Amino acid sequence: MDERTIQIVKRFSILPQLGKLEFLTRLAHDETVYIRVGLLSKPPQLDPIRGSNEFIHQICNYSFQVLGINSYLSDTDIIESLVENFEERGESGLEILNKALASLEISG
């Protein structure tokens, strides 16, 4: 794991439970916007929509993890998986997660 990812894991790990849930909810919300763009394309882009649906499913699972409903993922596992999901579609996962964390730190 590179240093930038380690820093994101540290920032995520120190968030209280509600902060972690807000972070994950923001990501899921933003993903619905990504789906909307795919649906409004001519013709609709279904493959990215399917991927986004799976990603939202994973984010919900991470929320259950934060709530203690599941207990098999560490904060590191969650962040690494989020980075990987964004980067699979050509986006900078580190940049997206940094922005999401920064918005929490500003509002919070």
The string of pLDDT tens digits covering residues 42-98 is 888 888 888 889 999 999 999 999 998 877 889 999 999 999 888 887 778 888 888
Q: What is the pLDDT of residue 108?
A: 54
What is the model's pTM?
Answer: 0.86
Q: What is the pLDDT of residue 19?
A: 95
Q: Are 5 and 83 in contact (CB under 8 A)?
A: yes
Q: CA nearest 86: which of 75, 77, 97?
A: 97
Q: What is the pLDDT of residue 27?
A: 93
